[in-house]
Amino acid sequence: MLECAPCRCLPMRAFDNVEAALAYKDLRDFIRRLEKEGELRRITAEVDPVLEITEITDRVTKAGGPALLFEKPKGSRVPLLINTLGSHRRMNLALEVDKLGDVADRIRSMIDFQSPQGLLDKLKMLPKLAELGSFFPKSVKTGPCKEVIRKENFSLHEFPILKCWPQDGGRFITWPLVITKNPETGKRNVGVYRMQVFDDRTTAMHWQTQKHGAEHFRRARAQNPSGRMEVAVAIGADPATCLSGILPVPPDLDELMFAGFLRREPVETVACETVDLEVPANAEIILEGYVQLDELRTEGPFGDHTGFYSLEGEYPVFHITCITHRRDPIYLTTIVGPPPQEDFYMGHAVERIFLPVMRMQYPEIIDISMPAEGIFHNLMIVSIRKSYPGHARKIMNAIWSLGQAMFTKVIVVVDHDVNIHDYREVVWKALCAIDPERDVQFVLGPVDTLDHAARIQDFGSKMGIDATRKWSSEGFLRPWPDEIRMDPATRARVTALWKSLGL
């Protein structure tokens, strides 16, 4: 079997029967599949969502273990699912591909639309267009997320919401699909922004400054500073929909459309009961409500994906007006913390899925790599086919201007012949290729809200390292040495001799 080059995971056949070739209907459909594949363990012992589930999950994820379904979380009748996508294999299962490159290939074929030359080309485009059209979310009258509708007498405390780490400010909903509408364009956004539980019906809304939910909030506030903005939150759905909330798609591009593309079937949506928003019909739990535009409250601390606590900060408050859910809902959650965690596999999927999009604009990019310990935003290694002086620096600037890649704290650009997934090779070759004072570039700009070392929140410096071979046209006038490689004839002779050497 071939290895998937970037992640070295063993690809598997996702389409081993006709049934599996259909998109997952919902979260429990995916749970069934995981169970069939030996990728899920049920835990019947009573375990506390306060700290204990984190400690168990942290050990299991780091050991490469399965998804976990806690059937008896302490203090709740709702089972809890975690570590769902916490391995390369489960991510492939979720996306129903043999390897992530297959998703990238589909994206590439979509954006390979060349301007049609003549009628024949136009005709050839039709099936592609039809396919595109088939990804749009589809409104339906009702769905399983409406089995129970509660406008009164509900409480978030019925759900097994985690307190993840000892110094956390409380319990946090960690995998909510937060749905808002751009108040100017009416376009939907779905983002995963953690929500700290304040009481039965209120939470924080931790959309960071540069995220689309925060942008909607600012635009709504500009229209009516003391008004409200409606928000709906879906928890637990088919895996592509759940993943779509973390994808860095451009503003005003509906993540649910992207989910439809990923699952090859439209996401069905239903209208909310108390707000003018639509939510995935197959969700386990829906929270409806609003944020008051002139209200902020202290959120945090929270043990974050940096492996450190993010400190307290002021964030909007989400007031819940209605909860709808299935008769027997499953609470989907995840933890972040010292890497690697489940979110590493999500980040890796993002890296692989969006590489073709980057390469469309910047075909000189050969490959990119973000090591787990770099927490995505801290380190990106990029290999390029360098073809003019200063090319490496142009690519750094391109990355810093590309959506959430703007947060990349350190970019290392190497030549095309460096295997950037082999970190030993990167350290060796990159460090040999630099004259630090000459090859390091600093810029100022937006940084990740979670960067606790930045001089002020959201603003700071970033560093690019040009670790490509230097050219005379870049002012480097010395010869550049060849890399040491034994000649093939000697290698062949020694291979022939090898047995006789007794080594």
Ligand X SMILES: Cc1cc2nc3c(=O)[nH]c(=O)nc-3n(C[C@H](O)[C@H](O)[C@H](O)COP(=O)(O)O)c2cc1C
Which residues form the interface with ligand X (CB under 6 A)?
174-175, 189, 191-194, 206-208, 211-213, 245-248, 334, 336, 343, 346, 404
Which one of ligand X, Mn ion, none interacts with residue 207, CB within 5 to 8 A by kind?
ligand X
Catalytic residue among 26, 238, 254, 304: 304
Structure token pair of residue 380: 């990106």
| DSSP characters over 144-186 | GGGSEEESSS--GGGS--BB-STT-SS-EE-S-EEEEE-TTT-
Would you say 179 or 335 has its CB closer to Mn ion? 179
Matching residue, tokens 């599949």: 33
Helices (H) and strands (E) in the chain, counts: 13, 23
Point out which span in 75-83, 183-191, 195-203, 273-281 binds Mn ion (CB under 5 A).
Answer: 183-191
Give the Cα separation of 65 and 69 in Å (integer): 13
Residue with nearest beta carbon to Mn ion:
212
Asked if residues 337 and 344 have their Cβ atoms less than 8 Å apart, the reply is no
CA geometry: angle 256, 257, 259, nearest 5 deg: 60
**Torsions phi, psi for 73 (to 5 deg):** -65, 135
Which one of ligand X, Mn ion, none interacts with residue 280, CB within 5 to 8 A by kind?
none
163 makes contact with Mn ion (CB under 5 A): no
Q: How far is the CB of 17 from Mn ion (least distance, A)?
A: 35
181 makes contact with Mn ion (CB under 5 A): no
Which one of ligand X, Mn ion, none interacts with residue 107, CB within 5 to 8 A by kind?
none
Q: How far is the CB of 271 from ligand X (least distance, A)?
A: 21
Point out which span in 182-190, 383-391, 399-407, 434-442 binds Mn ion (CB under 5 A).
Answer: 182-190
For residue 431, how many C-alpha atoms fall within 13 Å in the half-sphere facing its CB?
A: 6
Q: How far is the CB of 211 from ligand X (least distance, A)?
A: 3
Which one of Mn ion, ligand X, none interacts with residue 396, CB within 5 to 8 A by kind?
none
212 makes contact with Mn ion (CB under 5 A): yes
Q: Is 304 a catalytic residue?
A: yes
Tell me which residue of 84, 104, 112, 267 sits closest to 175, measured CA to CA. 84
Tell me which residue of 447, 445, 305, 454 sits closest to 375, measured CA to CA. 305
Q: How far is the CB of 253 from Mn ion (least distance, A)?
A: 7
Give the Cα separation of 284 and 235 in Å (integer): 6
Would you say 210 or 274 has its CB closer to ligand X? 210
Query: Between β-strands 278-280 and 268-271, what pairing exists: parallel, antiparallel or unpaired?
Result: antiparallel
How far from chain centre, in Å, is Cα 124?
A: 33
Of 189, 208, 244, 333, the one binding Mn ion by CB under 5 A: 189
Would you say 192 or 430 has its CB closer to ligand X? 192
Would you say 193 or 309 has its CB closer to ligand X? 193
Would you say 89 or 216 has its CB closer to Mn ion? 216
325 makes contact with Mn ion (CB under 5 A): no
Give the Cα separation of 387 and 191 in Å (integer): 38
| DSSP characters over 401-468 | TSGGGGG-SEEEEEETTS-TT-HHHHHHHHHHH--HHHHEEEEEEE--TT-TTSSBTTEEEEEEEE-S
Which one of Mn ion, ligand X, none interacts with residue 87, CB within 5 to 8 A by kind?
none
Point out which span in 211-219, 259-267, 318-326, 341-349 binds Mn ion (CB under 5 A).
Answer: 211-219
Instruction: Give the DSSP H/E element, type plus range, for residue 366.
Output: strand 365-369
Q: How far is the CB of 405 from Mn ion (least distance, A)?
A: 14
Asked if residues 348 and 97 have their Cβ atoms less than 8 Å apart, the reply is no
Would you say 189 or 333 has its CB closer to Mn ion? 189
Which one of Mn ion, ligand X, none interacts with residue 206, CB within 5 to 8 A by kind?
ligand X
Would you say 154 or 165 has its CB closer to ligand X? 165
Q: How far is the CB of 159 from Mn ion (least distance, A)?
A: 25
Which one of ligand X, Mn ion, none interacts with residue 281, CB within 5 to 8 A by kind?
none
Q: How far is the CB of 189 from ligand X (least distance, A)?
A: 5
203 makes contact with Mn ion (CB under 5 A): no
Q: How many residues bind to Mn ion according to rule CB under 5 A?
A: 2
Q: How far is the CB of 229 from Mn ion (least distance, A)?
A: 15
Would you say 251 or 363 has its CB closer to ligand X? 251
Please classify residue 70 by burial: count the beta carbons closer than 10 Å to its beta carbon, then call 0-12 exposed, 13-18 middle and 19+ buried.
buried
Tell me which residue of 153, 109, 95, 169 sits closest to 345, measured CA to CA. 95
Which one of ligand X, Mn ion, none interacts with residue 211, CB within 5 to 8 A by kind?
ligand X
Asked if residues 27 and 284 have their Cβ atoms less than 8 Å apart, the reply is yes
Which one of ligand X, Mn ion, none interacts with residue 99, CB within 5 to 8 A by kind?
none
Structure token pair of residue 153: 């007498």
Would you say 154 or 261 has its CB closer to ligand X? 261
Q: Using alpha carbons, list the distances in angstroms from residue 179 to 30, 35, 160, 367, 486.
A: 23, 30, 22, 33, 58
Q: How far is the CB of 175 from ligand X (least distance, A)?
A: 6
**Torsions phi, psi for 356 (to 5 deg):** -65, -30
**Residues at the contact surface with Mn ion, assessed by CB under 5 A:** 189, 212
Active site positions, annotated: 304
